[in-house]
Structure 1
Amino acid sequence: MSKALHRVLVTFGTAADGRLGLGFPLASQLIPRIVPTLAGYSVKQVSCGGAHTAVVTDDGTLFTFGINEWGQLGHSNRDKFVAAPIEVGLPDPVKAVAAGGHHTLALTTAGEVWSWGMAGEGQLGLGQPQEMRQVEPRLIKTLQGAGVVALAAGDHHSLALTSCGQVFSWGRGEHGALGHGTVHGYVGVELTPKRIRALPDPVTHGSQPRITSITAGPFNSGAVDSSGAAYVWGHGNGYQLGTGRAEHELQPRRLSTLPGGVRSLSLGQNHSLAVVGDGCLVAFGTDDSGSLGAGAASLQQRAARQPIRVAGLPLARAAAAGWRHSLALSEDGRIFAWGWSGAAGMGVYADYGGGQLGLGDDEDRWVPEQLMRIHTSKHRFYDLRMSYLKPWRALQVAAGRNHSAAVVETELDVRDLVDG
């Protein structure tokens, strides 16, 4: 038989520029759909950029697809976009990937960090750019031997976390996204990785907690340490940093507003999500199209200056904040979505449809709703409400500007990938 338990990639939302990886014709997906060309791989991680997607498999193969105007795919140099996954050639297997607004970072098993895509503002960490568009992966030499274990990428900046808990940032420092403060009142560009000195550093102060995770929004950044304390910096004039102030933070600021310690932190354009120690999900920032999940009556067109609990959710494992939409992953593998579900012509090549909530339409949601169905092909699906269909559970969720993705485990019958 052709049945087996698989970890597959599902994508949903606008198909503009090929960012869903489903090939032609480019057609928005209102319900998550399995990317069939990756069904033979065991998918480990997915990262959604501004209009492109990057996927890592268990064997360390890296695939990318979507828009390629700045070379952010790392292949297909002459193509403006690619509608189906193509492998990125790197010298060693990939452990993790981070897709930014217009660039991509990859961490290999050799501990090396490679970057490609838009290069004009230092976000590739390669020093003075020779060209604005870097179409082939290049090694960030200054991070060799640093022990990098995690990466994060915003629209024009990048972050790296080392095994000893140090955080490096580089790229455009606008709004304080790099966390280095000012020099003579000026927030500039860092062309190579620079350590963020305002964060806890157990290397120089052994008693301090160690940073264990990093995250990046389009123009801001965050980190969580081993004690569960969260730090945020960068763009904050929509209260999206959770500090209670509608102000940018030029250096990391420890959040005192998150109860019980932080397990997961995700930063969007104007809102943010955090899973706190008891598994509850909280949101803060501007409530664009329901992105805070607080209901239309209470917070429509308003902002949460302090973190508020997102009601109606089970205990959460992680969350993903997109431009104006939100995803939550429960402890038992269910996906919930809310916020904006449309598109505003944010693409260059065809298809401006929405559907990034995966709920079957392009209507906004002001409270969380559970995703019940994944499509295996155009007309076939697995639905959690139907006991005779194969069940599925999600292991990871990712949110881009107006598309979403998830790593899903299911007993896949490969015959269901083809309509017939």
Structure 2
Amino acid sequence: MASKKPLARVLATFGTASDGRLGLGFPIARELYPRIVACLAGYSVQQVSCGGAHTAVVTDDGTLLTFGLNDKGQLGHSREDKFVAAPIEVGLPDPVMAVAAGGSHTLALTTAGEVWGWGMAGEGALGIGDPDQGRQVEPRLVKHLTGQDVVALAAGDHHSLALTKGGEVLSWGRGDHGALGHGAVHGHVGVEMLPKKVRALAGARIASIAAGPFSSGALDREGSAWGWGYGNSGQLGTGRYANELQPVELRALPSGLRSLALGQLHSLAVLATGEVASFGMDSHGSLGAGQATLRTRQTVAPKIVPGLPPCRAVAVGWHHSAAVAEDGRLFTWGASGAAGQGRFQDYGGGQLGLGDDEDRWSPEQVFRLHTSAHRFYDLRTSYIKAQPWRVKQISAGRNHTAAVIETPLDTRDLAS
């Protein structure tokens, strides 16, 4: 009897390819289906984090690799290059345990318990104090977090979060809309150049943290949720169309939450039952509630996303959403065309991985995984009895998506 192929844990990316954020090389404008980053096939991928237009990957042995836009130094290498279209290792003194990619900065937590940051530095998002220059290419030690027993990181567009082993949350960077959770001083929400404890969460025993572009969130050990920051579209789940300058417990969500993902205008939460709740602005179908939401456009009350099996994880991009089922299947909905202008070069679309750039108002399953430009594994293939690929972890950037996928990969299929 033939032996089974060993399972490989690979990285797949899809969506807008501008500035090299998919790691698939040039010239690629977009990728409409999840496609394996072939040059990482020799690694066992542990985690991926999508920033505004760059991507960071951690492997099982603690290697950190980044690719994409580098205009602010957010890749941590390639000083003279504005973008890099293939993964390159970031040199750090110890193996990396976790990474968080923000709008234009990146944070890494090493096995030594140290936090390092690089990228856009002038607005405090790196937590290194008043920097000598706004573009920090080489990783800098966040000295203020030394000895704090940091266990998790999160990054927004201009701010950052850290979670300690004792359940305390620290935040730093720009406090626009209340994203830092420190409240206001004489009506002013300022910039924190160094990590500062979020005092309103003292005693809450926080177990996980999340960051949207201009908002922050946390879950405690019982699965109760808090949110703060930008909430004018109801995307915090507080029940109000308002910004929150300090953490507010999200009582509209039941306790026992599994995960929380915050976006610019909408957010998702996985309930204890595996159901997914959405709230905020329904841009391009991002809430997943069907086209009936065209009549309401936004909601402050979390509502269950219909048509999903029990899920364990979710991810939120600018106007798109993704959910990973308990059995590893991937579902996406929302915007599939490139959205937005500004400092990011967003062209192409395809971040839903469904084969086109058409928006979806309800969740649809992603069936196809490309191993190269012309070869793929499809969950609908009749002669394959076992599920040929399963998603282990998902992350969404502004207009691109990345997934850690487990599959019995045949390396010959990586050839074009």
Q: TM-score range by the shorter chain?
A: over 0.9
Matched length: 412
Q: Give, in angstroms, the shift of residue 387 of structure 1.
A: 3.9
- Whether contact under 8 Å (1:293, 1:366) holds in the other structure is yes
Question: Which 4+ runs in 1 deviate beyond 4 A?
Answer: 345-351
1:325 equivalent in alignment to 2:320: yes
- Structure 1 residue aligned with 2:287: 292
- Whether contact under 8 Å (2:375, 2:413) holds in the other structure is yes
Q: Secondary structure at the match of 2:228?
A: strand
Unmatched 5+ stretches in structure 1: 202-208
- Structure 1 residue aligned with 2:256: 261
- Structure 1 residue aligned with 2:7: 5
Residue 400 of structure 2: which of 367, 386, 403 is its match? 403
Mapped partners of 2:26, 2:253: distance in 1: 45
- Structure 2 residue aligned with 1:236: 231
- Structure 2 residue aligned with 1:110: 112
Mapped partners of 1:387, 1:43: distance in 2: 29
Alignment of 1:65-104 (within 5 A): 65-104=67-106
- Structure 1 residue aligned with 2:182: 180
User: What one-letter code is carried by the residue in structure 1 that aligns with 2:397?
Assistant: G
Q: Give, in angstroms, the shift of residue 307 of structure 1.
A: 0.1
User: What one-letter code is carried by the residue in structure 1 that aligns with 2:304?
Assistant: R
Mapped partners of 1:220, 1:140: distance in 2: 22
Q: Give, in angstroms, the shift of residue 81 of structure 1.
A: 0.1
Superposed CA deviations along residues 214-242 of structure 1, whole A, max 9, x for unmatched, are 00000000000011110000000000011
Alignment of 1:126-205 (within 5 A): 126-201=128-203
- Whether contact under 8 Å (1:260, 1:278) holds in the other structure is no
User: What one-letter code is carried by the residue in structure 2 that aligns with 1:416?
Assistant: D
TM-score norm. by structure 1 comes to 0.96
- Whether contact under 8 Å (2:177, 2:229) holds in the other structure is yes
1:223 equivalent in alignment to 2:218: yes
- Whether contact under 8 Å (2:14, 2:31) holds in the other structure is yes
Superposed CA deviations along residues 65-118 of structure 1, whole A, max 9, x for unmatched, are 000000000000100000000000000000000000000000000000000000
Superposed CA deviations along residues 384-419 of structure 1, whole A, max 9, x for unmatched, are 011435700000111000000000000000000002
Unmatched 5+ stretches in structure 2: none
Q: Give, in angstroms, the shift of residue 357 of structure 1.
A: 0.2
Q: Give, in angstroms, the shift of residue 278 of structure 1.
A: 1.2
Superposed CA deviations along residues 360-404 of structure 1, whole A, max 9, x for unmatched, are 000000000000010000110000011435700000111000000
RMSD: 1.6
User: What one-letter code is carried by the residue in structure 2 that aligns with 1:239?
Assistant: G
Mapped partners of 2:136, 2:170: distance in 1: 21
1:63 equivalent in alignment to 2:58: no
- Structure 2 residue aligned with 1:271: 266
Closer, same or farther in 2 for the Cα pair 1:189/1:35, shift >3 Å?
A: same
Mapped partners of 2:298, 2:224: distance in 1: 23
Mapped partners of 2:296, 2:337: distance in 1: 17
- Structure 2 residue aligned with 1:250: 245
Mapped partners of 2:359, 2:296: distance in 1: 13
Closer, same or farther in 2 for the Cα pair 1:135/1:233, shift >3 Å?
A: same
Mapped partners of 2:137, 2:187: distance in 1: 34
Q: Give, in angstroms, the shift of residue 352 of structure 1.
A: 1.2
- Whether contact under 8 Å (2:282, 2:293) holds in the other structure is no
1:358 equivalent in alignment to 2:349: no
- Structure 2 residue aligned with 1:43: 45
TM-score norm. by structure 2 comes to 0.97
Q: Give, in angstroms, the shift of residue 244 of structure 1.
A: 1.4
Superposed CA deviations along residues 34-71 of structure 1, whole A, max 9, x for unmatched, are 00000000000000000000000000000000000000
Q: Secondary structure at the match of 2:279?
A: strand
Which stretch shows the higher mean deviation, 25-34 or 284-293?
25-34
Q: Secondary structure at the match of 2:293?
A: helix
